[in-house]
């Protein structure tokens, strides 16, 4: 019986270790700046809303962990004269694989690894009848690092976290200068529409800073800042989408 109890304890510990994870849901508002010279050389700015879901999964018996992040952005932007409006929507999926270093400096936890970013979206010019929309799709491989620090204020426990993703290489879809979508998809006229990118031609990077207030052992309230800077210059076209968001949400530890 003792042997059986020992085996059950080991299995329970292994299951708990393999499924140790945090899940966060956040929503936020903030400014957006958009440029896409395929549609117009004008710069657009406005306000956007973002929903973000983050799942951090770690096997506590090992030094590696995975992070999955889903980010949906919707923005309504206008030109400088407020005569033309662009509607922008983007979905970003991030999957990161981190090596977890041993804690330093009274509990500071550092992670370093690589992240894959799948980006898909569109811009719709609500006042143009000629080429009114532009589709966006890209896959990026990005070096990534995080720093997490736990601290107390009075009897309340907090966790501060910072994440940075930097550009490296990738591939993206882009029409060529003067090429219509009718030529690409109806006539099948390929013109360098799948473009390899580097940190020079597509210097995309992203940062996320957050503070969690642990109101219970399993639940925490989160306040975060997201800065996502997606930009590229390919096929004689320039594009960028800069988003800044203040997010509020909840985090659950399992």
Does pLDDT of 204 surpass 70? yes
Over residues 162-178, the pLDDT tens digits come to 999 999 999 999 999 98
Kindly state whether residue 13 falls inside one of the protein's structural domains.
no
Residue 229, domain extent = 22-253
Listed as own residue / partner, the contacts of 176-184 with beta carbons closer than 8 Å and 24 or more positions apart are 176/235, 176/236, 176/237, 177/38, 177/235, 177/236, 177/237, 180/131, 181/131, 181/135
Q: Is residue 14 situated within a structural domain? A: no
Residue 241 domain-assigned (yes or no): yes
- Does residue 164 fall inside a structural domain? yes
Domain CATH code at residue 118: 2.40.128
* Domain membership flag for residue 12: no
Please state the domain count of the chain. 1
For 183-202, what is each residue's pLDDT tens digit?
A: 888 887 888 999 999 999 99
129 domain-assigned: yes
Whether pLDDT at 156 is above 80: yes
* Confidence class for position 55, pLDDT limits 50, 70, 90: very high
Does 17 map to a domain?
Answer: no
Tell me whether residue 8 is in a domain: no
pTM attached to this predicted model: 0.87
Q: Are 243 and 75 in contact (CB under 8 A)?
A: yes
């Amino acid at each position: 019986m003792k042997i059986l109890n020992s085996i059950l304890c080991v299995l329970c510990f292994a299951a708990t270790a393999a499924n140790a994870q945090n899940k966060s849901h956040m929503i936020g508002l903030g400014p957006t700046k958009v440029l896409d010279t395929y549609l117009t050389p004008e710069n657009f700015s406005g306000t956007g809303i973002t929903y973000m879901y983050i799942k951090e999964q770690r096997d506590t018996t090992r030094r590696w962990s995975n992070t999955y992040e889903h980010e949906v952005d919707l923005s309504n932007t206008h030109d400088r004269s407020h005569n033309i409006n662009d509607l922008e929507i983007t979905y970003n999926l991030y999957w990161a694989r981190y090596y977890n270093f041993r804690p330093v400096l009274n509990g500071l936890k550092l992670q370093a690894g690589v992240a894959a970013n799948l980006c898909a979206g569109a811009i719709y010019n609500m006042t143009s009848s000629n080429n009114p929309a532009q589709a966006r799709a890209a896959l990026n491989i990005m070096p990534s690092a995080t720093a997490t620090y736990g601290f107390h204020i009075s009897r309340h426990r907090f966790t501060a976290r910072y994440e940075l993703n930097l550009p490296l290489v990738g591939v993206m879809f882009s029409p060529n200068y003067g090429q219509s979508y009718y030529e690409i998809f109806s006539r099948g006229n390929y013109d360098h529409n799948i473009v390899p990118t580097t940190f020079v031609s597509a210097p995309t990077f992203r940062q996320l800073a957050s503070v969690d207030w642990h109101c219970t052992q399993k639940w925490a309230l989160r306040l975060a800042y997201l800065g996502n800077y997606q930009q590229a210059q390919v096929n004689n076209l320039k594009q960028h989408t800069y988003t800044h968001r203040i997010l509020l949400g909840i985090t659950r530890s399992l």
